[in-house]
Amino acid sequence: MMPLRHLLLPLCAMLLLPAPMPAAAGNRVAAAAATINRLPTLSTEQRHAVGIVIAAAPAATVPQRIDAYGQVLDPSQLVADAGRLDSSRAVAQAAAAETARLKGLFRGANASLKALQVAEAAQTQARVRAREARTEFLLRWGPLAQLSPAQRARLLEQLAGGRQLLLRANLLGRHTLGQMPKRALVDVDGVQVPARVLGALPQAAQMQSVGLLLLIPHPPSGLGPGAQLPVLLEGRGRAGRVVPDGALLYGQRGAYVYRVLPHKTPQGNTQFAPLPVTPLQTVGGAWLVTGLHADDRIVVQGAGVLWSLQGLGRIPGGAD
């Protein structure tokens, strides 16, 4: 069999040599420009010789994936913050009850106005401290602020016993979340451990990134507070078409693939044109992209040959 380089050289020469030059100078310029911008055209035998494979890109809906950086949280801080929140609420309720009692006594002339005013001032102060404690708890623990005291007590019992773990997942380089991820996978020594997404954490971490509070229901033995782990967040599915990694090429205008034009040349050869696409994310050894239609047939293997034949990646401005 003839070596591949011997087959490519005649193809390159055929595509890059100028067309026969007309007599008029203007026609010669037009012919030269057309030769430079002509699209790769191959016969069936030539396609097989250089290993070009043509196929349709299958449609797929793939969950959006976001890489994050997680750290297992110390439950003792949650215990302290929850205790401060509950105690401040109790103090505020006691102050309100005392104010109500003194108001009744004051109406019956059994308490002085000064005593009532002191009680009202204490009630106001207790209410402010309770509000501060709730705000601090909300900033640090976000979704856990919606739990009742009984629900928090059960969670704290699970955390203290190591039967559950809380983890903060930081989305590095981002300050907004967008859509809430549906689930999370925590990488523990190469094992993907599922975690539940509880919600967003309003307070930024030291890395100045938006964070999510995750709950690991059944953590591996030995995993504890302070551990730093990679996290993969999965959001809603994104629709597109899957193309092999080798089908994607990159130029000055971004990523593109070679599409087979629907009509053959008068000689019965296949013509290829670059088609811009938008890569969304990797899917195994392929890419999920947008910009392709169901009836598009693309080059899934051997796109680099067409890139060379067209003139080292030059894409015609009018290609679509």
For the chain, the domains span: 4-15+35-61+238-309, 75-161
The confidence band for 1, taking pLDDT boundaries of 50, 70 and 90, is very low
In the predicted model, what is the mean pLDDT of residues 67-89?
Answer: 90
Instruction: Encode 182-215: b = buried (16+ Cβ within 10 Å), e = exposed.
Output: eebbbebeeeebebebbbebeeeeeeebbbbbbb
pLDDT score, position 177? 64
Q: Residue 312: its pLDDT value, please?
A: 45
Per-residue pLDDT of 255-301, as tens digits, reads 999 999 998 888 889 999 999 999 988 888 899 999 999 999 999 99
What's the whole-number mean pLDDT along residues 190-215? 82
* Residue pLDDT, tens place only, 134-184: 998 888 888 998 888 889 889 999 998 889 999 999 887 666 666 788 889
Residue type, 213: L
Task: Inform me whether the pLDDT recorded for 314 exceeds 80.
Answer: no
The pLDDT confidence band at residue 209, using thresholds 50, 70 and 90, is: confident
Query: How many CB atoms neighbour CB 104 within 10 A?
Result: 10
Over the range 10-41, which residues count as b (16 or more CB within 10 Å of their CB) and which as e?
ebeeebeeeeeeeeeeeeeeeeeeeeeebbbb
Q: Which of 76, 89, 217, 213 is nearest to 143 (CA)?
A: 213
Position of tokens 């060379």? 308
How much is the mean pLDDT over the chain? 81
- Over residues 114-134, the mean pLDDT reads 91
- CATH code for the part of the protein at 4-15+35-61+238-309: 2.40.420.20
Distance CA 302, CA 3 (A): 16
Nearest alpha-carbon partner for 309 in 2, 37, 3: 37
Position 178 scores a pLDDT of 63
Q: What local confidence, expressed as pLDDT, does residue 21 receive?
A: 39
Q: What is the pLDDT of residue 27?
A: 44
CA distance 35 to 314: 12
**Residue 226: exposure state from Cβ atoms within 10 A (0-12, 13-18, ≥19):** exposed
What mean pLDDT comes out for the span 190-199?
92
% pLDDT > 70, the chain? 82
Tokens of 125: 């102060």
Residue 10 pLDDT grade (very low, low, confident, very high; cuts 50, 70, 90): very low
117 pLDDT exceeds 80?
yes
pLDDT of 316 > 50? The answer is: no
pLDDT of residue 224: 87
Separation of alpha carbons 221 and 64, rounded Å? 30
Is residue 8 pLDDT above 70, yes or no?
Answer: no
Q: Are 60 and 288 in contact (CB under 8 A)?
A: yes
Alpha-carbon torsion angle 8, 9, 15, 16, nearest 10: 140
- Residues contacting 290, CB < 8 A, separation 6+: 239, 240, 241, 277, 278, 280
